[in-house]
Chain A
């Protein structure tokens, strides 16, 4: 395969990163009950350390798949254990490994029943989530994608809030229904794409337009539920409210990204014609999500619900950036995926910390914390400002890029998206005003004790990241450039090809690239794009 750099070092880094948590989850059952939290923390930290080389040795100059490994798995039909990362998946893998230690830390005292099983479920989730991001075989991808449902179902259903049974079942059925259609789409692609499940090979095939539309809809069912996009979002507030804090963090920070990752990895490269056809609808739904999510967030009295609806709104801006179909939009979307992971994850951690003290998530019960809990209030303000996209914080970079990309696609759409940012400022500042600076409530006031060392350790690294990405986004953006440009070129070329075919009847895939939508900055140092991947 031309666009895969096989792993040259000999050590199977990706396999190690994917399966270390799984092995850890099994080992956890042999650890003493008293030491199990430390063991899980150690495992997630080891996993984080293990994932660093992926970043350090990642070659940002090429859109090719790196650290690739391939082993035959099932012979008939040919299904491989095939993994690799590029600039689109690397940030998401790192986000996952980075957040897991905090999920363990925040559950330290909050989870008291069946601790081992809880931590094992967290670790299983980690394996499945990373597997989704690195899989290069469609069936392998699907296996990870679905395998994640069971531990998440248990996380919400066993350790969740009072209405957890309903929320867990709703989460499960929504996402399962979406993804069964994905399976049929995968099988259809298999037969039309040359009897292969290889994601890269399948991305190089030109499918008939009618087929593309059907497959687009099937992909949409799977990914839009996961994101979640506007009319399919109703499971999210329920799941967030009932999930334990660590579950909420995983859900918001990583699971939702699997949907947008699906759009980037599969929908755009494989179905360019259908993407073109459906783009207006997708932009429309994204704008609906931004505005509706923000509007709903304004009306919430429950902190977790407020953040859940803000997630719907923020993920709307991610899908908006993706379907702007230009480099700015897509890079912005990727940035926003990371930022949303960090910021919203941190906000859920904040709510969890508060809930441990007051056992209430209602805004009314948690007012006026700035007095008794000044450090906590400081963190809450930082993450809220980051969430609303204040310049100097991480989200500003992503939102700016998304808006710039959208602006190139359509000015009214950009204007509407900007309205969403104003609404975000409104609900977040209003929340901060009440929680941090409101009048304390008598019944909860005595329980408000400021952060302890463990909670400090949980929130500080995230706050550091907020500012680091805010001021120096380049180390994060750099690995994305090549892959995103490659994706955009791929899309443009297919469009050119379709246009040429319409006029002259020749296959135009090798003809000149439409460069109008590409950023000038990233052009010069790039190697020639590696296309022509038709098997």
Chain B
């Protein structure tokens, strides 16, 4: 078998990212310690190159490798988001790793490997390709989660993530093999025709669908498959937490939306109900449990669970058979819009958390933020904006994201779901505003050097400026991103 050059060209961005990852890993031993920062810049350069490539070919639609891989605007949208998020994560890591004294440049290699896995996921047209991407992403993230080797919590996070992740991958694989048994192929297109041929009541098909829902439920941290999230998010190095909460979630959504709409589109009526239940459970548990958290990383972990719940509203709309296809597309594009906005504000919030120091350690307790507004008004203001945006209050991007989701829900005659979700949004305002309250309305506890402060670094400034600009600009002028998402959705059947 020979590999045609066109196939290789089609996955050029994936190749660049994977090759850079290998290069970073290979160069690491021979780079003198003071120059290891260069490897981060090398990674950033590769990301910029890929961003340019994908952006210039946004409208291209092509299949490669015997239809194992698909390049279309839908995949490109997710890839652009993933590049942006990864680039910001690398910038954040440069400052964070220095502060935490983690001097292992394999870090960037694994980050890029995880990214290439995610890219494979979102442009897969075959369940096995998706599985390959998922595993590449997950294995890299297991390692990254344990990167704070001296910290027991980090190791626990890594181990826990590995065990539960492997478990969920097993379930996913079981679902894939059942589908293979039914359809005789793992291609999404073949599965789609098998579904329409076999009818809706084939028990094997339904079981396979349920297993896929469970497997992807783990990856996007939907309740009741969220158990791993708080511990892993709390224990992992904060830069990795941010990456997991944002990029891994986006890639998993990207992959599973394609599977369920293109492969299992004929079973909409069935998975619609499953996702409706997951959506409500996720909204309820994520928002209610976040209230009682005292550690900000755990709080943000539950908040990220809750936000998966909001995004699932769009999935539910996309699977509603009674709605017409325009409404379903709106549901889908609002999921994509929401995850892009969620990525910006969550990354911003985690950046503030990662760089808040208290007596040389990371300030993780919400109480550690006490009085931040007095000492560092700018840092407090940034956190304020991110919290307000996460709570979905205008004129921030968080409001726009929710607005489109609820617009889709009301249009699909799911006004009750919108009401429910909005009431949970009001609940969420409580825990987000508690952070604001602690920053602005409490005095720092101690007068010693333990007062909280944000470490300063140019890379950090760039990350925060990007996140802030994104949250405010998209809040006031969302048109470009909205139309990009709408355009991307047209690519899906």
Residues in chain A within 8 A of chain B (CB atoms) = 74-77, 114, 117, 139, 142-143, 146-147, 149-150, 153-154, 157-158, 164-165, 168-169, 172-173, 176-177, 180-181, 183-184, 187-188, 190-191
Contact = CB atoms under 8 A, between A and B. Distances in A.
B426 A177 contact: yes
B394 A143 contact: yes
B440 A154 contact: yes
Nearest to A154: B440
A150 B395 CA distance: 11
A173 B373 CA distance: 22
20 contacts: A74-B478, A74-B479, A75-B479, A75-B483, A117-B377, A139-B403, A143-B395, A157-B440, A164-B441, A168-B441, A169-B430, A176-B393, A176-B429, A180-B422, A180-B426, A181-B419, A183-B403, A187-B411, A190-B410, A191-B411
A518 B419 CA distance: 39
B104 interface: no
A150 B393 contact: yes
B343 to A, nearest CB: 21
B406 interface: yes
B433 interface: yes
Nearest to B388: A150
A466 to B, nearest CB: 36
Nearest to B374: A114
B423 interface: yes
Interface in B430-450: 430, 433-434, 436-437, 440-441
A147 B395 CA distance: 6
B425 interface: yes
Contacts of B479: 74-75
B482 A157 contact: no
B336 interface: no
A172 B428 CA distance: 12
Contacts of A173: 426, 429-430
B425 A147 contact: no
B415 interface: yes
B418 interface: yes
B102 interface: no
B399 A157 contact: no
Contact of A157 (B395, B441, B483, B486): B441
B407 interface: yes
Interface in B90-127: none
A22 to B, nearest CB: 11
Nearest to B433: A172
Nearest to B407: A187
Contact of A147 (B377, B393, B422): B393
Interface of B: 373-374, 377, 384, 388, 393-395, 399, 403, 406-407, 410-411, 415, 418-419, 422-423, 425-426, 429-430, 433-434, 436-437, 440-441, 478-479, 482-483, 486
Contacts of B415: 184, 187-188
A180 B394 contact: no
B406 A187 contact: yes
Contact of A76 (B394, B426, B483): B483
Closest 3 CB pairs of A and B: A180-B422, A187-B410, A143-B394
Contacts of A76: 482-483, 486
B439 to A, nearest CB: 10
B162 to A, nearest CB: 40
A73 to B, nearest CB: 8
B423 A177 contact: yes
Of A143, A150, A153, the most chain B CB neighbours within 10 A belong to A150
Contacts of A172: 429, 433
A146 B441 contact: no
Contacts of A169: 430, 433-434, 437
Nearest to B413: A191
Given A139-B403, A173-B429, 14 more contacts: A74-B479, A77-B407, A147-B395, A165-B437, A173-B426, A180-B425, A181-B422, A183-B406, A184-B415, A187-B410, A187-B411, A187-B418, A188-B415, A191-B411
A158 B441 contact: yes
B475 to A, nearest CB: 9
Nearest to A76: B482
A114 B375 CA distance: 12
A410 to B, nearest CB: 34
Contacts of B384: 150
A77 to B, nearest CB: 7
A164 B441 CA distance: 9
Contacts of B483: 75-76
Contact of A188 (B399, B410, B425, B478): B410
Given A74-B478, A184-B418, A168 B437 contact: yes
Contacts of B422: 180-181, 183-184
Contacts of A184: 406, 410, 415, 418-419, 422
A158 B423 CA distance: 26
Contacts of B434: 169
A187 B402 CA distance: 12
A342 B328 CA distance: 51
A76 B334 CA distance: 12
A143 B437 contact: no
Nearest to B387: A150
Contacts of A117: 377
Contacts of A147: 393-395
Contacts of A154: 436, 440
Contacts of B406: 183-184, 187
B407 A153 contact: no
Nearest to B422: A180
A129 to B, nearest CB: 15
B410 A191 contact: yes
Contacts of B373: 114, 158
A183 B403 CA distance: 8
Contacts of A77: 407
A375 B410 CA distance: 58
Nearest to A175: B426
A51 B483 CA distance: 38
A176 B426 CA distance: 6
B394 to A, nearest CB: 4
Nearest to B475: A143
B7 to A, nearest CB: 36
Given A173-B430, A176-B426, A158 B410 contact: no
B287 to A, nearest CB: 13
A180 B429 CA distance: 11
B431 to A, nearest CB: 11
Contacts of A165: 437, 441
Nearest to A160: B441
A399 to B, nearest CB: 36
A168 B418 CA distance: 26
B482 A180 contact: no
A183 B415 CA distance: 11
A76 B486 CA distance: 10
B482 A74 contact: yes
A526 B486 CA distance: 49
Contacts of B394: 142-143, 146-147
A476 B377 CA distance: 44
B441 A180 contact: no
Given A180-B426, A187-B407, A187-B418, A149 B393 contact: yes
Contacts of B423: 177, 180
Contacts of A143: 394-395, 399
Nearest to A157: B441
A366 to B, nearest CB: 28
Contacts of B437: 157, 165, 168-169
B390 to A, nearest CB: 13
A168 B440 CA distance: 12
B402 to A, nearest CB: 8
Most buried by A among B394, B406, B411, B429: B394
Nearest to B410: A187
Contacts of B426: 173, 176-177, 180
A191 B423 CA distance: 21
B53 to A, nearest CB: 28
